[in-house]
Chains A and B, each alone.
Chain A
Amino acid sequence: MSEDVDIDVEYLTRVEGHGNIEVNARNGKIEKCEWQVVEAPRFFESLVVDRDWTELHHVTSRICGICSIGHTLASLKATEDAMDIDVSEQDKKLRKLALHGENMQSHVLHVGYLALPDLMDSKSVVPLTETHEEEVKTVIRLHRLANEMSDVITGRTTHPQRLIPGGFSKIPTENELMELKNKLEGSFNDLTAVANLLNDLESKIPAFERETEYISLTHEDEFALYDGDICSSDTGRTPVEEYLEITNEYTVPQSTAKYTKNNRESYMVGALARLNNNYGQLSPMAKDIAEKFDFDPLVCNPFMNTIAQVVEVVHSVEDSIRLIEELLDEGLEEQEEYNSPDIEPKAGRGIGAVEVPRGILFHDYTYDKDGKCTEANCVIPTNQNHGNIQLDMEKMVPDIISKPEEEVEKQLSMLVRAYDPCISCSTHDLNIKFID
């Protein structure tokens, strides 16, 4: 039993972006317990000021490499909202496919490359390539499938090219969609294998719970990712236009990042939040898999976020197949090559919200009459989770502080990783502070 604990995790590994964990205890008394975000600021909300409406999605896509499709779509939706630009049903379906591709890609990366090593007591996926070659190859196959999907729909796996205001500069061919559908259908074995693998490791998932408010989009007709209202597990529905009422950004002295809160001190967004709020709308096989893990909303164990991601991957595959079938049944409406919709820019403010792998994302732009951006605000999922991570840590540390220091460090790292934080995209981090 250790009375004095000093944990300094500088640049937590296997997460996107830079964050530190610092815990100090003296004689069993916790003196400090902090989750710190130390990503260098990138000033996106200033970068876009004065830029043309045709460029904003290109710029804001660069907020995050992993969620670049999500950022692009939130950005386009905000611009389209500001200028009343219509998007065809077909293009909306294609955009949903793009979002599914990104969701799958990011979740598979997180579950397979970043979280699994913890559960398998390995420091990274690299040693696993030798000890568990088959499993690693399964994960790689799913990852590649997800990327192929982004490629076919958006032109590239990272920083999509085809997504533009009003629709697509180029759309996939029916043959490409058909092929994609075949590949998606061929992935069920791999999906089951990954689910089973995690099922076998379920005992390694810490049994930690804390009552939490969950926030995500919600929609009557579907498991909401691209469209919908804001939904809180505590306070119910709010229209997207009123997102500021929900996010309520504030600063706290001991933290480096802006926190958000709605009904409680903090809330959680992401796969677990989506499952908690929209469980009934999951696709059939996704639901089966969730049941294997005895998933019963409301689930208040943040470590279950990883499981929720696995469930969502299955949902994304099934829902993508459904979307492609619909598109093919209706027949793809051809569009011009190098399509660029005829749009007259105009002044106004627009807000776009989409669910990206790590949770709900808001872009909010104001344009002048020439379509130059005058003001922007982006609220990123990871920012919304920082407060919740901190509060989880505060609850968890006293329970585990008596364990060996290494073990404490591992649990805390695992906790942060379970949130799959995407720190480099946190646009609202404050006050860089380094551990000496």
Chain B
Amino acid sequence: MKVIKKEDLENFVDELIANNEKEVVGVKSKDSKYVFDKLENAEELELDYDVTILPPKKYFMPQRETLVEYETREGIEMEAVNEVVPRIIIGIHPYDLEAIKQMDKVFADSPEDDNYLEKREKSVLIGVNMKQISEWSFAGSMGTATIEDGYDLMLTDLGDRYAVEIGTSKGRELLERESLEMRDAEPEEVEEVENIEENIQNGFEKELDFSPQNLPWLLAENYGDEDFWEENAEDCYSCGTCNIVCPTCYCFDVQDFSDISLEEGERMRQWDGCMLEAFAEVAGGENFREERAERYRHRYMRKGRYLYNRFGDIACVGCGRCSSQCVPDIADPTDIFNKLWSDKDE
């Protein structure tokens, strides 16, 4: 573990920006909220934030990206496209790092999705331990409040200094520059970081009343409880907000957009959401999840069960984005999961 003074970290970030080798993005404030965005200077960086509106997945799987370019003047010509911008991403909280680990598995699964993987590979992830905890977050319960790996560098705020944990050689290389003033951490500082991490565990207002390991069977057991799902989904707008803001959601739609000549264009993918009404609709109008409640249930099933069966992870990292941004306030996983848990005893 290394230690760096706050002002030196600022200089370091400014240098990275000036260096221009990779785009430097970090957490910035937007109105009363926070977003990951391109940094113009280190001063804009807000490492003391609660949660960002969108997770950093947008850098590996952009809201909209071109997969294929085509041209149809004579016959067809198609070319795969991957617009990769190498980036240094500063200020990722542990739950988002965990989510990125999960996404890595999804896109590395055969057949590999290079549009994601290459962007991911060309990025450097600098994590930061939480100082503020979102009132909606329950990362403590999901085991994602702190993290052992998945970052290239990990920062912890020690007042006037940051402790820097080096996670990978990519991270180490980034630090290898002469101008950077950094020293090895004292044993007390290592202990301080441990204490801080321990304290974070206790800072959550929202909690799951049980271990998330129970989710797969709990959800399976309640799959058929239609009344329950209907009751809870009654106010759902089918607006997909809970999908879009989620760091572990990755469903997408693909559409073609021709330019005005009609002879060339792009095939693009855009984030989609299983809560949207047409998500499972096929030609002829048959919709395999026509009811709000079916779609609502599907999201929870996917978070707590299906993706676990497929990739071995509970696909909710407890960031609380879905619940904090759902306008009718019905998307809180702890609320639903806890209700199921307490009902099971009845």
Contact = CB atoms under 8 A, between A and B. Distances in A.
A250 interface: no
B27 to A, nearest CB: 15
B183 interface: no
A434 interface: no
Nearest to B30: A337
Interface residues of A, number: 3
4 contacts: A336-B31, A337-B30, A337-B31, A338-B31
A337 B34 CA distance: 12
Nearest to B31: A337
Contacts of A337: 30-31
Contacts of B30: 337
Contacts of B31: 336-338
Contacts, number: 4
A7 B31 CA distance: 61
Contacts of A338: 31
A336 B30 CA distance: 9
A337 B30 CA distance: 7
Nearest to B29: A337
Interface in A189-232: none
Interface in B23-37: 30-31
A338 B53 CA distance: 15
Interface in A268-282: none
A336 B31 CA distance: 7
Nearest to A338: B31
B33 to A, nearest CB: 9
A338 B31 CA distance: 7
Interface in B1-51: 30-31
Nearest to B33: A337
Interface string A317-353: 0000000000000000000111000000000000000
A338 B30 CA distance: 9
A339 to B, nearest CB: 9
Interface string A400-420: 000000000000000000000
B46 to A, nearest CB: 14
A310 B165 CA distance: 66
A100 B31 CA distance: 30
A118 B6 CA distance: 70
A332 to B, nearest CB: 15
A337 B31 CA distance: 5
Nearest to A339: B31
A328 B78 CA distance: 47
4 closest residue pairs by CB, A with B: A337-B31, A338-B31, A337-B30, A336-B31
B37 to A, nearest CB: 12
A144 B230 CA distance: 52
A19 to B, nearest CB: 34
A242 to B, nearest CB: 43
Contacts of A336: 31
Nearest to A337: B31
B32 to A, nearest CB: 9
B94 to A, nearest CB: 28
B239 to A, nearest CB: 19
A255 B281 CA distance: 57
A338 B29 CA distance: 13
Interface in A362-410: none
B219 to A, nearest CB: 38
B129 to A, nearest CB: 27
A168 B321 CA distance: 29
A337 B28 CA distance: 13
A67 B117 CA distance: 50
B188 to A, nearest CB: 41
Interface string B102-144: 0000000000000000000000000000000000000000000
Interface in B260-303: none
B14 to A, nearest CB: 19
Nearest to A336: B31
Interface in A106-128: none
A28 to B, nearest CB: 54
B80 to A, nearest CB: 34
B36 to A, nearest CB: 16
A334 to B, nearest CB: 12
A205 to B, nearest CB: 37
A336 B29 CA distance: 11
Interface in A292-337: 336-337
B160 to A, nearest CB: 29
